Amino acid sequence: MENSPWCVSWHTGNFGQLLRCAIAIQIFDINIDVDETKASSHRDSGILGSHTILPIHPHDDTRVQEGMKVIKPYFTAKYLSYFPKYLHYIKWFGSFPNGGTMHEYYNVVKGANFYKELLANIYWHVPDNGVSEKCFNIKMNDLFDNFDLFVKNFEEFFGQKLKQKTVDFLQIKRKNNLLHLENFTKNVVDSVDCLARHKSKDIESLCDYEKLLIISTYVQGNWDLTSKFVRNYNNTKLKDVREIHNFIHAVS
């Protein structure tokens, strides 16, 4: 077990713990009593032990050693670029943090506007959807959009057909996480679509964090667009996506 070559390398929110559990089920026949009422695999992974399926977290190609069988999960769809960050808060905190918590969590200067502070941070304005040159890259959006293809790609990583209990585990986790995806789609993806078409959509009831995700998903790491928002935003409460559009595309 200690010399196991199996490894998962991932960034926050990309279902790395889920894949560690799936590998344990497939390769080591570890039994995981899956609770169909919860979406997070963090508690499940506690029974694995780091000596069984090694974690590299956050992902770093320089830590991938020769002879290791490493898989890296990521989201290829641009509209899901910031879904992992959404999942991070939902699963760790159970709800989105308020402005004060955001300041503390990200070490933002008290009293500063956290939209501006976080958008100016590379953690936010560059989406994490890159592939690794040393790992087997697997598209996590397929888990939701094309489950059969996801299974096929996972089988390619293993070099063997998935056991039924591995498939069952993945299906349960897919089902449990669908609600998060649906909420993200309704609150963020649909808002970004309206923003791109300069169409009105009420976002007043959304929390500041969700509005930050709308901006980040729209700019997709484009620093010119990000800097325009940071420069033009006047610290007022964002009530409609057209306001975001106007701040980003205002003629300076």
Is the pTM here over 0.85, yes or no? yes
Query: 51 vs 128, which has greater pLDDT?
Result: 128
Q: What is the CA radius of gyration of the chain?
A: 20
pLDDT of residue 1 exceeding 50, the answer is no
Using CB atoms within 10 Å of the CB of residue 197, give its burial: 0 to 12 exposed, 13 to 18 middle, 19+ buried. exposed
pLDDT of residue 251 exceeding 80, the answer is no
Average pLDDT, the chain: 87
pLDDT of residue 2 exceeding 70, the answer is no
Model confidence over 138-152: pLDDT tens digits?
A: 999 999 999 999 999
Cis, peptide link before residue 5, omega less than 30° from 0: no
Query: pLDDT-based confidence at 49, cuts 50/70/90?
Result: low
pLDDT at res. 108: 67
Query: 132 vs 114, which has greater pLDDT?
Result: 132
240 DSSP assignment: B
Model confidence over 157-213: pLDDT tens digits?
A: 999 999 999 999 999 999 999 999 999 999 999 999 999 999 999 999 998 889 999
Across 17-30, average pLDDT = 93
Across 226-249, average pLDDT = 94
In 33-146, which residue ranges form alpha helices assigned H by DSSP? Answer: 42-45, 83-93, 99-105, 114-119, 122-125, 141-145
Task: Kindly give, in sequence order, each residue whose CB lies less than 8 Å from that of residue 214, ignoring residues fewer than 6 positions away.
Answer: 188, 191, 192, 195, 203, 206, 241, 244
Amino acid (1-letter code) at residue 183: N
Give the DSSP H/E element, type plus range, for residue 227. helix 223-232
